[in-house]
Amino acid sequence: MKYYLNFLPALVLFTSCVPTPGGGGMGGGSMITGLVPFILIFVLFYFLILRPQQKQNREKENMLKNLKRGDNILTTGGIYGKIVAITGDILTVEIARGLNIKVSRSGVAGIASPNNDEEKNAKERKTDK
Protein backbone atom coordinates (compact mmCIF):
# COMPACT_ATOMS: atom_id res chain seq x y z
CA MET A 1 0.00 0.00 0.00
CA LYS A 2 2.83 2.39 0.84
CA TYR A 3 4.24 1.74 -2.62
CA TYR A 4 1.13 3.24 -4.21
CA LEU A 5 1.08 6.21 -1.84
CA ASN A 6 4.58 7.20 -3.00
CA PHE A 7 3.36 7.66 -6.56
CA LEU A 8 0.13 9.50 -5.70
CA PRO A 9 1.57 13.05 -6.09
CA ALA A 10 2.92 12.16 -9.55
CA LEU A 11 -0.50 10.81 -10.51
CA VAL A 12 -2.15 14.08 -9.48
CA LEU A 13 0.37 16.06 -11.51
CA PHE A 14 -0.19 13.95 -14.61
CA THR A 15 -3.98 14.03 -14.35
CA SER A 16 -4.00 17.82 -14.09
CA CYS A 17 -1.75 18.09 -17.19
CA VAL A 18 -4.08 16.12 -19.45
CA PRO A 19 -5.44 18.41 -22.22
CA THR A 20 -9.15 19.08 -22.23
CA PRO A 21 -11.12 17.37 -24.95
CA GLY A 22 -12.57 19.48 -27.71
CA GLY A 23 -9.88 22.07 -28.27
CA GLY A 24 -7.20 24.16 -26.72
CA GLY A 25 -9.37 26.44 -24.59
CA MET A 26 -10.21 25.77 -20.97
CA GLY A 27 -13.73 24.52 -20.47
CA GLY A 28 -16.04 25.55 -17.64
CA GLY A 29 -15.70 22.21 -15.83
CA SER A 30 -11.91 21.96 -16.03
CA MET A 31 -11.37 23.63 -12.65
CA ILE A 32 -13.58 21.07 -10.95
CA THR A 33 -11.90 18.17 -12.71
CA GLY A 34 -8.54 19.60 -11.66
CA LEU A 35 -9.63 19.57 -8.01
CA VAL A 36 -10.97 16.01 -8.04
CA PRO A 37 -7.54 14.36 -7.64
CA PHE A 38 -6.71 16.61 -4.67
CA ILE A 39 -10.03 15.77 -3.03
CA LEU A 40 -9.43 12.06 -3.59
CA ILE A 41 -5.96 12.34 -2.04
CA PHE A 42 -7.37 14.10 1.01
CA VAL A 43 -10.07 11.44 1.46
CA LEU A 44 -7.51 8.66 1.08
CA PHE A 45 -5.15 10.40 3.53
CA TYR A 46 -7.99 10.78 6.05
CA PHE A 47 -9.09 7.14 5.98
CA LEU A 48 -5.60 5.60 5.86
CA ILE A 49 -3.73 7.85 8.30
CA LEU A 50 -5.76 10.36 10.30
CA ARG A 51 -8.76 8.27 11.33
CA PRO A 52 -6.81 5.25 12.69
CA GLN A 53 -4.44 7.58 14.54
CA GLN A 54 -7.34 9.43 16.18
CA LYS A 55 -8.87 6.12 17.27
CA GLN A 56 -5.54 4.99 18.75
CA ASN A 57 -5.15 8.28 20.64
CA ARG A 58 -8.68 8.00 22.08
CA GLU A 59 -7.99 4.44 23.28
CA LYS A 60 -4.71 5.47 24.95
CA GLU A 61 -6.33 8.48 26.67
CA ASN A 62 -9.13 6.24 27.94
CA MET A 63 -6.57 3.71 29.24
CA LEU A 64 -4.58 6.45 31.03
CA LYS A 65 -7.75 7.86 32.64
CA ASN A 66 -8.82 4.43 33.91
CA LEU A 67 -5.52 3.47 35.58
CA LYS A 68 -6.07 2.29 39.12
CA ARG A 69 -4.12 0.98 42.05
CA GLY A 70 -2.99 -2.61 41.56
CA ASP A 71 -2.73 -2.46 37.75
CA ASN A 72 0.37 -3.98 36.22
CA ILE A 73 1.80 -1.52 33.69
CA LEU A 74 4.57 -1.16 31.18
CA THR A 75 6.28 2.23 31.03
CA THR A 76 7.54 3.86 27.86
CA GLY A 77 11.04 3.10 29.12
CA GLY A 78 10.28 -0.63 29.13
CA ILE A 79 9.91 -1.08 32.89
CA TYR A 80 7.23 -3.42 34.21
CA GLY A 81 5.66 -2.51 37.51
CA LYS A 82 2.58 -2.44 39.68
CA ILE A 83 0.79 0.78 40.60
CA VAL A 84 0.97 1.29 44.36
CA ALA A 85 -0.44 4.81 44.64
CA ILE A 86 -1.88 7.53 42.42
CA THR A 87 -1.50 11.20 43.25
CA GLY A 88 -2.99 13.35 40.50
CA ASP A 89 -0.80 12.88 37.45
CA ILE A 90 1.98 11.02 39.31
CA LEU A 91 1.94 7.27 39.76
CA THR A 92 4.02 5.44 42.34
CA VAL A 93 5.06 2.17 40.73
CA GLU A 94 6.62 -0.80 42.51
CA ILE A 95 9.16 -2.39 40.15
CA ALA A 96 10.62 -4.81 42.70
CA ARG A 97 9.79 -5.72 46.28
CA GLY A 98 10.41 -2.57 48.29
CA LEU A 99 11.60 -0.53 45.27
CA ASN A 100 9.20 2.20 44.17
CA ILE A 101 9.57 4.81 41.46
CA LYS A 102 7.41 7.75 40.49
CA VAL A 103 6.18 7.92 36.92
CA SER A 104 4.06 10.46 35.11
CA ARG A 105 0.76 9.17 33.72
CA SER A 106 1.96 10.01 30.23
CA GLY A 107 4.96 7.71 30.81
CA VAL A 108 2.74 4.64 30.80
CA ALA A 109 2.83 2.71 27.52
CA GLY A 110 0.12 0.24 28.44
CA ILE A 111 -1.36 -2.20 30.87
CA ALA A 112 0.65 -5.41 30.94
CA SER A 113 1.52 -8.36 33.08
CA PRO A 114 5.17 -9.47 32.97
CA ASN A 115 4.24 -12.87 34.44
CA ASN A 116 1.85 -13.59 31.56
CA ASP A 117 4.48 -12.50 29.02
CA GLU A 118 7.07 -14.79 30.62
CA GLU A 119 4.59 -17.69 30.57
CA LYS A 120 3.81 -17.08 26.89
CA ASN A 121 7.53 -17.00 26.04
CA ALA A 122 8.09 -20.24 27.97
CA LYS A 123 5.22 -21.95 26.10
CA GLU A 124 6.63 -20.76 22.77
CA ARG A 125 10.06 -22.16 23.64
CA LYS A 126 8.51 -25.54 24.54
CA THR A 127 6.60 -25.72 21.25
CA ASP A 128 9.74 -24.84 19.25
CA LYS A 129 11.63 -27.87 20.62
* Residue 127 scores a pLDDT above 90: no
CB 97 within 8 A of CB 84: no
| H-helix or E-strand spanning residue 16 | helix 8-16
Q: What pLDDT does 1 receive?
A: 55
When the pLDDT of each residue in the chain is averaged and rounded to a whole number, the result is 81
The 10s digit of each residue's pLDDT in 36-65 is 999 999 999 999 999 999 999 999 999 999
Q: List, edge to edge, every strand of the sheet that includes 108-111.
A: 99-104, 90-96, 80-87, 72-75, 108-111
Tell me, what's the pLDDT at 20?
A: 55
Predicted pLDDT of residue 30: 79
